[in-house]
Amino acid sequence: MQKTPIEYGKYYHIFNKGNNSENLFFKPEHYRHFLKLYEIYIEPVAETFAWCLMRNHFHIFIRIKDENEIGFLNPDNAKREELDIKWKTFFPEKGDTKFYKKPVPINMFKHLFNAYSSWFNLKTNRKNKLFKKDFERILVKDREYFRNLIIYINNNPVHHGFVEHPIEYPWSSYKTVISEKSTKLKRKEILNSFDNIENFKYIHNQKQNYEIIKNYIIE
């Protein structure tokens, strides 16, 4: 089956899981490192509206930026600890600071998965493929799906029986939305879609019925 193309300016539900349903994360260190790599590879090409990392899979709701919103990657602006990753991925010759490239969104996901797989395998002394070969994605076409998808992703730990309320789970976007701390998550747009923060909390407190988006849920 042909995968949904990743196009500029469009919204997507992104999903991937461990190969043969193996765990992707065992320790807090693993979750944190994935998020760090996500910042390096995905934030330059996408805006994030919801995310949740589970033991053997993850969900992300993003908008791919328009092509003119995506800047050239400049190694001179990279953090020192990220420099080797950026050089290896985007630049043909180390030391050629004049050669800058615009990243291609679908390639950035591949770089993310490859970078995390290499790091995770080294940390856990494993050699096999970590992720499924190709990640799942569904185009988000309307506002109703937009809102219900945010609820679904934030409530994924509840759905799988890990916690009773999304606020109890540390590896999702829920607590970031209700926080006042600075964030790159599109908090304003998220809360606008729920009218306000009180309604956002109220709806997340209710028992969820996913019939409305059952054909768009990926697990």
pLDDT digits (tens, 9 = 90+) for 15-53: 999 988 899 999 999 999 999 999 988 999 999 999 999
pTM: 0.85
Number of domains in the chain: 1
Per residue in 86-104, pLDDT tens? 545 554 444 554 445 778 8
Task: Assess if residue 159 is contained within a domain.
Answer: yes
Q: Which pLDDT score, from 0 to 100, does residue 103 have?
A: 84
pLDDT of residue 217: 63
- Residue 154, token pair as written in the block: 């934030």
Beta bridge partners of 101: 73
Return the pLDDT at 128: 84
In this structure, what CATH number is given to the domain that contains residue 187?
3.30.70.1290
| Pairwise CA distance, residues 177 & 186, whole Å | 8
Domain-embedded: residue 77? no
Of 79-83, 98-102, 138-142, 207-211, the least confident: 79-83
Report yes or no: 157 and 54 within 8 Å, Cβ to Cβ: yes
Within 10 A of 129 (CB to CB), how many other CB atoms are there?
14
Asked if residue 86 is part of any domain, the answer here is no
Cα 150–Cα 188–Cα 162 angle in degrees, nearest 5: 30
Q: What is the total residue count of the chain? A: 219
Reduced to 3 states (helix: H, G, I; strand: E, B; else coil), residue 11 is strand
CA distance linking residue 28 with residue 219, whole number of Å = 22
Q: Is residue 90 part of a domain?
A: no
The pLDDT confidence band at residue 83, using thresholds 50, 70 and 90, is very low
In a domain, 28, yes or no: yes
64-80, pLDDT tens digit by residue? 999 999 877 655 544 44
* Assigned domain for 155 exists: yes
Query: What are 146-199's pLDDT values in tens digits?
Result: 999 999 999 999 988 999 999 999 999 999 999 999 999 999 999 999 999 999
Distances (CA, A) of 138 to 5, 56, 121, 144, 213: 9, 19, 29, 15, 11
Contact in structure between 106 and 134 (CB atoms under 8 Å): no
Q: Residue 184 to residues 3, 23, 38, 69, 135: CA-CA distances in angstroms?
A: 28, 27, 12, 15, 23
| Residue 65 DSSP SS3 | coil
Write phi, then psi, for 203 (nearest 5 degrees).
Answer: -65, -40
* Residue 134 domain boundaries: 11-69+104-216
Give a yes or no: residue 126 inside a domain.
Answer: yes
109 assigned to some structural domain? yes
